[in-house]
Amino acid sequence: MRIQINGARLIDPASKMDQQADIFIDDGKIVAIGDTPRDFVADQMIDGNGLIAAPGLVDISASLREPGYGRKGSIASETRAAAAGGVTSLCCTPHTKPILDTPAVVDLILDKARDEGSCKVFPLGAFSQGLAGEQLAELFTLRKAGCVAFSNGLAPFKSNRVLRRALEYAATFELTVIFHPQDPDLAEGGIAHEGSVATFRGLAGIPETAETVALSRDLLLVEQSGVRAHFSQITTARGARLIVKAQARGLPVTADVAMYQLILTEEALMDFSSFYHVLPPLRSLADREGLRDAVRSGVISAIASHHQPHEADAKLDPFAATEPGISSIELLLPLAMSLVEEGVFDLPTALQRLTTGPADALELKAGRLSVGAAADIVLFDPKGQTVVGESWFSKGRNCPFMGHVLPGAVRYTLLNGRVTHKNV
Amino acid sequence: MTPLLPKCPLQLNDEGRLRHFLSLDGLPRAMLTEILDTADSFLEVGARAVKKVPLMRGMTVCNVFFENSTRTRTTFELAAKRLSADVITLNVSTSSTSKGETLTDTLRTLEAMAADMFVVRHAESGAAHFIAEHVSPNVAIINGGDGRHSHPTQGMLDMLAIRRHKGDFTQLKVAIVGDILHSRVARSNMLALKTLGCPDIRVIAPKTLLPVGLEQYGVNVYTDVNKGLKDVDVIIMLRLQRERMQGGLLPSEGEFYRLYGLSEQRLALAHPEAIVLHPGPINRGVEIDSLVADSPRSVILNQVTYGIAVRMAVLSMTMSGQNEQRQLDAEKQESL
Amino acid sequence: MSLPDPAVLISAMARDLQAHLKAREIDNPRFVGIHTGGVWVANALLKELNSEEPLGILNVSFYRDDFSRSGLHPQVRPSQLPFDIENQHLVLIDDVLMSGRTIRAAHNELFDYGRPASVTLVCLLDLNARELPIRPDIVGATLSLEKNQRVKLTGPEPLAIVLKTIDHL
């Protein structure tokens, strides 16, 4: 199948390209950029005038909810939602049922993704068996089955000693470990950022130190073990500064932040709306500014959706009794555009943090537009608009942006040259 | 990003009058004063032989208590009965939700009973707001206490006690002592005192029991009770719960009493005519000395009577606001 | 129309009341005024009768029959009855009698205090606009108003009757 995309403005962060150029696709791969290759006759023409062509977005943290949580989502529904958000590659989290700690579950997910999915799915394996933080999962075997990195989510390890050993084991095989720094004891019982809003509304607080204490410990153990480390879902300005210091003394650690964390703050909790109940929590304005600085400077090189869809009941209770999580993967591109429009980032930076930034952090072959690469492309209209909820693919409607009008609209998403999302 | 429409204050009707009673934040001084004035009238009713007025005759008030409390429940029951309403009490903690029924399903069932008003008490902050948002707006919701967020009728009855015994708020120094961190009573009191113009509101507790961000209430924070109680006109002692000894908040009740308990000597630091309040039930020898609790400076027992009067005021004002909104909605319908 | 002077009316009412009470052999009744206007009239009457008796004040807000339509009236002040109602002869005083509902509310409230031996109703003005079968025993003057007219008693010193025209019904 030969496809030609005409007249789009091509932005590829990896090669720093930003110019108008035609794209030629054959058999799922980009065969030329710019001049028409000899003997190329297109079967399908896509009019890219007025649109921007960028590498398909790479989302390194999304809960697909399959296997095990059918009411909340499925590989089919959530990858479809991802495609609507401009995503072509994503990493699914190990919080499935059964947990992603055996090759059988990896196979199940990869098969489903191939048959029913609208994205490339790169599984994140559980770092410990059952995510219980006691025994190592069979990391090498899981790697062979297809896991690209390992995470224990917010679940703690039983002791620092076990954690250290686990990191050394992972380091032996050059496996990447993803940390979600949160000290369980400091965070215990907390559901919101320990600040003015939580105090005013009587919500149990999670102090900043829950993140920074765990982060400090993790960084020192990373240094000691030499493991490849990625820090996920940083929420505090202080936490970002700790990562700056670690990178400055030569630790090759990377970090990501949730897209919503760059937009929302604890103020959102004033009305007790459970749509703003997330873990780790939305923090102060100062924290948001610190995170934005860190993303601008590249200290935090990746932005992820941290997509967590839920059925309606999970959010229909007084705040503390609801399940945490926001469903937002299908807004990844428009939310990025809202930050660009606000002047927080320029467009190439925003795109880099959503493509090569995350891809390089986890060493994924994705996030680039170049001759020979897979035709994973997002075509979007920077002057268009997305009315949130007008069409919705995720099973989870737990999104606080419902009804908002966001700047930018994804027009086409292509995965290996196949159109996975179209909105013209 | 386009902002969504600002929410109209949930507890007020189109004319700005109470239609629910959820929390004291956002309520103007005039309204708090009106509650106190109305409560004064109801105190008179309580002093008669027939302690009833027919204001809510034929209406049904449902006490929906997800968290147990004999004291608050009985005063609400009494208040509703003195307004001639029919009262049902549902201790939901022991029935449906423990069978796995969702809160919204429980609310649907209660709505079907066609009550005019729910008095709700729940262990989670924000529960009263949640219930008001998910039940027909024609059912008045009265917050009998939600988690550590708000206990607005308690706040108002404390204000009534202060006004009746000490007069003008703008001339008073008021101290709140104890577990501020976990206390919905403290939060409601701080808000009420600020709105009513109290110029010197003091909270006194060890750091472990003080929440962050107290500046937003406009209060003065003390960790030394001897400094904090100096010359105050009103002392509100909060209840210290046993659970606070776990988790490193406090070493023991004994040490708390030695450092913060209201003994006769500590009371002597305050103004010679200072009064003592406590939301009850009191822990003698923990937050307060028996001699002080039983002394003439203590208005703790009066608080019970004030509680009934304040609740009668709140119930009738809220019912009034609901009726007014029903009228406004009917007029809007007609003009369409 | 010319409005009567309350001072003149009250003199006549005092004489009529004394005669009425004597005919029924009621001595030492207690006076109860309905807040606010009725209290002014009652005080003026008691002065005219040279009486030092304590005056009971009745605030009928909690007994009105229009709560479900108009809600609670703000500025409610407590009733004060400094004497026992049980077996007591009462003189109930109000300023303006229109529909009769205020008097009905006053009766309901009084009976919640106790069982009076008798109630004698005194009104400064009767507007002849009754909706209930309530009739004053002693009345100062009867007025007939147009549909868009209202009267109000101002006071407490001096007492005056004011006529108001309302522009919308």
Number of domains chain A contains: 2
| A34 and A112 both lie in a single domain | no
| A138 and A28 both lie in a single domain | no
Mean pLDDT of A228-234: 98
DSSP β-bridge partners for residue A176: A228
| A43 and A63 both lie in a single domain | no
Task: Please give the mean pLDDT across all residues of chain B.
Answer: 92
pLDDT, position C95? 94
Check B103 against A316: CB less than 8 A apart: yes
Does the ipTM exceed 0.90? yes
CATH 3.40.50.1370 residue ranges of chain B are 29-150+307-320, 152-303
pLDDT, position B95? 54
DSSP β-bridge partners for residue A150: A125, A177
Check B34 against C74: CB less than 8 A apart: yes
Is A424 in contact with A32 (CB distance < 8 Å)?
A: no
| A169 and A249 both lie in a single domain | yes
The secondary structure of residue C139, as a DSSP letter, is E
Per-residue pLDDT for A30 more than 70? Answer: yes
pLDDT, position B92? 78
For the segment B285-308, what is each residue's pLDDT rounded down to a tens digit?
A: 999 999 999 999 999 999 999 999
Per-residue pLDDT for A356 more than 50? Answer: yes
For residue A189, give both structure tokens: 């019982």
Mean pLDDT of A78-103: 98
For residue A169, give both structure tokens: 């084991």
Establish, for the pair of chains A and B, how many residue pairs have beta carbons separated by less than 8 Å. 81
- Considering the domain boundaries, does residue A84 fall inside one? yes
Tell me the CATH number at A356. 3.20.20.140
Check B126 against A320: CB less than 8 A apart: yes
pLDDT, position B2? 42
Which residues of chain B have a CB within 8 Å of the CB of C61?
A: 41
Cβ neighbours for A414, distance < 8 A, ≥ 6 positions apart: A3, A25, A56, A88, A375, A376, A377, A378, A379, A420
Nearest CA of chain C to the CA of B37: how many Å? 7
Is B319 in contact with B57 (CB distance < 8 Å)?
A: no
For residue B237, give both structure tokens: 């002692």
pLDDT band at B44 (very low <50, low <70, confident <90, very high): confident
For residue A127, give both structure tokens: 């770092």
Which residues of chain B have a CB within 8 Å of the CB of A200?
A: 25, 187, 213, 216
Specify the range with the lowest mean pLDDT, choosing from A118-132, A166-180, B94-108.
B94-108
Asked if C touches A (at least 3 Cβ pairs < 8 angstroms), the answer reads no
DSSP β-bridge partners for residue B90: B64
Q: Does residue C88 sit at the B interface (CB-CB below 8 Å)? A: no
Residue A309: asked if its preceding bond is cis (omega within 30°), the reply is no
Q: Does residue A173 sit at the B interface (CB-CB below 8 Å)? A: no
- Considering the domain boundaries, does residue A170 fall inside one? yes
CATH architecture of B29-150+307-320: 3-Layer(aba) Sandwich (3.40)
pLDDT, position B6? 47
pLDDT, position C74? 61
Mean pLDDT of A128-138: 97
Q: Is B44 helix (H, G, I), strand (E, B) or coil?
A: helix
- Considering the domain boundaries, does residue A397 fall inside one? no
- For residue A196, give the chain B residue with the closest CA: B213
| A243 and A316 both lie in a single domain | yes
- Considering the domain boundaries, does residue A390 fall inside one? no
pLDDT, position B99? 63
The secondary structure of residue C27, as a DSSP letter, is -
Distance CA A293, CA A288 (A): 9
pLDDT, position A303? 98
Q: Does residue A343 sit at the B interface (CB-CB below 8 Å)? A: no
| A47 and A130 both lie in a single domain | no
| A149 and A8 both lie in a single domain | no
Domain extent at residue A313: 55-361
pLDDT band at B5 (very low <50, low <70, confident <90, very high): very low
- Considering the domain boundaries, does residue A391 fall inside one? no
Is A252 in contact with A298 (CB distance < 8 Å)?
A: no
The secondary structure of residue C60, as a DSSP letter, is G
Nearest CA of chain B to the CA of C17: how many Å? 29
Q: Does residue C166 sit at the B interface (CB-CB below 8 Å)? A: no
For the segment B262-273, what is each residue's pLDDT rounded down to a tens digit?
A: 999 999 999 999
- Between B47 and B151, where is the model more confident? B151
Which residues of chain C have a CB within 8 Å of the CB of B321?
A: 71
Check B316 against C114: CB less than 8 A apart: no
**One-letter-per-residue 3-state SS of chain A:** CEEEEECCEEEECCCCEEEECCEEEECCEEEEECCCCCCCCCCEEEECCCCEEEECEEEEEECCCCCCCCCCCCHHHHHHHHHHCCEEEEEECCCCCCCCCCHHHHHHHHHHHHHHCCCEEEEEEECEHHHCCCCECCHHHHHHHCCCEEECCCCCCCCHHHHHHHHHHHHHCCCEEEECCCCHHHHCCCCEECCHHHHHHCCCEECHHHHHHHHHHHHHHHHHHCCEEEECCCCCHHHHHHHHHHHHCCCCCEEEEEHHHHCCCHHHHHHCCHHHCCCCCCCCHHHHHHHHHHHHHCCCCEEECCECCCCHHHHCCCHHHCCCCCCCHHHHHHHHHHHHHHCCCCHHHHHHHHCHHHHHHCCCCCCCCCCCCECCEEEEEEEEEEECCCCCCCCCCCCCCCCCEEEEEEEEEEECCEEEEECC
Distance CA B167, CA B187 (A): 22
Which residues of chain B have a CB within 8 Å of the CB of A387?
A: none
DSSP β-bridge partners for residue B89: B63
Check B2 against A203: CB less than 8 A apart: no
From the candidates B98, B124, B143, B188, which should be mutated to test the interface with A, based on the most A CB atoms within 10 A? B124
Q: Is C148 helix (H, G, I), strand (E, B) or coil?
A: coil
| A7 and A102 both lie in a single domain | no
| Torsion sign across C-alpha atoms A293, A298, A300, A301 | positive
- For residue A400, give the chain B residue with the closest CA: B4
For the segment A136-148, what is each residue's pLDDT rounded down to a tens digit?
A: 999 999 999 999 9
| A195 and A266 both lie in a single domain | yes
Task: Please give the mean pLDDT across all residues of chain A.
Answer: 97
From the candidates A208, A260, A263, A272, which should be mutated to test the interface with B, based on the most B CB atoms within 10 A? A272
Check B43 against C72: CB less than 8 A apart: no
Per-residue pLDDT for B96 more than 60? Answer: no
| A199 and A186 both lie in a single domain | yes
Cβ neighbours for C22, distance < 8 A, ≥ 6 positions apart: none
Which residues of chain B have a CB within 8 Å of the CB of A272?
A: 125-126, 129-130
Alpha-carbon distances of A11 from A33, A49, A368, A423, B207, rounded to whole Å = 12, 14, 10, 20, 54
How large a percentage of chain C has pLDDT more than 90?
64
How large a percentage of chain B has pLDDT more than 90?
77
| Model confidence, pTM | 0.90
The CATH code that applies to domain B152-303 is 3.40.50.1370
* All domains of chain C in start order, with CATH: 6-62+86-165 (3.40.50.2020)
What part of A 206-265 touches B (C-beta under 8 Å)? Answer: 263
pLDDT band at C147 (very low <50, low <70, confident <90, very high): confident
Check A272 against B148: CB less than 8 A apart: no
| A40 and A146 both lie in a single domain | no
Nearest to A218 by CA among A210, A229, A207: A229
For the segment A323-332, what is each residue's pLDDT rounded down to a tens digit?
A: 999 999 999 9
- Considering the domain boundaries, does residue A288 fall inside one? yes
Which residues of chain B have a CB within 8 Å of the CB of A205?
A: 211-212
Per-residue pLDDT for B97 more than 80? Answer: no
Distance CA B314, CA B152 (A): 10
Nearest to C91 by CA among C159, C160, C153, C13: C13
The secondary structure of residue B169, as a DSSP letter, is G
| A48 and A65 both lie in a single domain | no
Per-residue pLDDT for C157 more than 90? Answer: no
For residue C11, give both structure tokens: 């003199």
